[in-house]
Amino acid sequence: MYDKNMRLIIILSCVTITLNVLAHGYHNDEERSVFFIAPLTGETVSNPIKITFGAKGVNIVPAGVDLPMSGHHHLLINIDKLPNLKLPIPADSNHLHFGNGQTEAEINLPPGKHTLQLLLGNHLHVPHSPPIISDRIEITVR
Ligand SMILES: [Cu+2]
């Protein structure tokens, strides 16, 4: 006869260990980043502008998927002052959500200089703590 409680404890231990491995698989904050693969800062581009998002140390998943160290990209356009990083990222023409887990996008911007920045949001569109955010790049649209 087996001990039901012991069996439950063993199962729970395995689940806990697995979750810990998933949660701490990326142990160093330095290894988590998002960045622009294209365009690069200082580039002059034409519409439609193809933007390629890079990510390191995090899994890019659709919004609503709650997994450790994962999230989806948000493109901040011409944002000088970051939104409150404890709240869901706003959704408007200056804060674009890529909630299907996209890693590239095509956008159109008026001619002139613009800044772009990437900010990762979790399953609820809330930035991580500490936030996973790219450098702010400047491009010129011809
Ligand atoms: Cu979002």
CATH of residue 92's domain is 2.60.40.10
Q: Is the pTM of this model over 0.75?
A: yes
Instruction: List the domain range (segments joined by +) for residue 123.
Output: 2-141
Convert the pLDDT of each residue in 102-135 to its tens digit: 999 999 999 999 999 999 999 999 999 999 999 9
Q: What is the average pLDDT value for the chain, to the nearest integer?
A: 88
**How many folded domains does the chain comprise?**
1
How many CB atoms lie under 10 A from the CB of residue 46? 9
Helix (H, G, I), strand (E, B) or coil at 31: helix
Q: What's the pLDDT at 121? A: 98
Query: What kind and span of H or E run contains 17?
Result: helix 4-24
Q: What's the pLDDT at 136? A: 98
Convert the pLDDT of each residue in 42-69 to its tens digit: 999 999 999 999 999 999 999 999 999 9
User: What residues sit around ligand 1, an ion, with C-beta below 5 angstroms?
Assistant: 97, 121, 125
* Placement of tokens 């356009």 in the chain: 77
CA 51 to chain centre: 15
Instruction: Say how many Å lie between the CA of residue 25 and the centre of ligand 1.
Output: 24
Tokens of 87: 């709240």
pLDDT above 90: percentage of residues in the chain: 78
Instruction: Say how many Å lie between the CA of residue 62 and the centre of ligand 1.
Output: 9
pLDDT of 21 strictly over 60: no
C-beta of residue 54 within 8 angstroms of C-beta of residue 35: yes
Question: Which comes out higher in pLDDT, residue 2 or 50?
Answer: 50
